[in-house]
A = this chain, B = another copy of it.
Amino acid sequence: MESHREGCFLLPNAWDAGSARVLEAAGFPAVATTSAGIAFSLGRADHDYGGARVDRARMTDRIREIAAEVRIPVSADLEDGFGESPETVAETISLTLAAGAAGGGIEDFTGDRSRPLYDPELATDRIRAAREAVDAAGEPFALVGRTDVLLTGGPLDEAVRRANAYLAAGADCAFVPGAADAATIGTLVRELDGPLNVVMGLTGNALSLADLRELGVRRVTVGGSIARAMYAHLLDAARELADRGTFSYAENQISQTDLNQLFRR
């Protein structure tokens, strides 16, 4: 594999237009979205086992807001396409294209504890339907096929099989969250018939972007990690205010003038 010579791109994940603008200002040539961060910013839990989730209309509204405010491409986290059927997934892709996204990922996680993943054949049909929706639109759109095998406790060889099936069905890139160590990532790079996306930003991560590049990873995202780190800072500030009645959290801030300038372009 010489794929590491083709570059390794980091797409940090935004949750609203403001976070996307700051990431753009930091120099990233593209951003992803985080469905977890978007859900949290709306005061809701992320798509998980059980419980309500943010519906497709609100999610695509937020994607549209983000895409409208930045000048760089936006790749949307589309969870499972907001439905089981390939037709629903195709519709979600069309809505996401209409919202201004330049890419998006479809995962095989169902949210149903009795059947955490869509069956392989259905999951592959869902990616194929997404591909057909992209091709029918005739606009550039990077389709990511994501398998949650490792996140749901499945074996690496099943992750490889599913990732390759999604690539064969038309995904431009395979995304395997849960692959976080060099051995696992190295195996995936060797075994996959296309580019690999991994997600970083969990605590205890020991790999750098340079390590990932060396391993042959082509695309790196950070999921909800920036958002979750912001919530830790927010809770720290809230506790300082509530428990001590002091304002030292505010000593490290971007001034109103500088933020106005950043957002006014």
Residues in chain A within 8 A of chain B (CB atoms): 10, 12, 16-23, 25-28, 36, 39-46, 48, 51, 65-66, 69-70, 200-203, 205, 208-210, 222, 224-226, 228-235, 237-239, 241-242, 244-247, 249-256, 259-261, 263-264
Contact = CB atoms under 8 A, between A and B. Distances in A.
Given A238-B23, A238-B26, A229 B209 contact: no
A26 B253 contact: no
Given A48-B260, A263-B43, A22 B233 contact: no
Contacts of A249: 225-226, 229
How many of these chains are in the complex?
2
A57 to B, nearest CB: 14
A28 B205 contact: no
A233 B230 contact: yes
A42 to B, nearest CB: 5
A182 to B, nearest CB: 15
A28 to B, nearest CB: 6
Contacts of A44: 17, 69, 263
Interface of A is mostly: helix
B41 A18 contact: yes
A156 B254 CA distance: 28
Contacts of A230: 230, 233-234
B10 A241 contact: yes
A256 to B, nearest CB: 6
A48 B263 CA distance: 12
A46 B245 contact: no
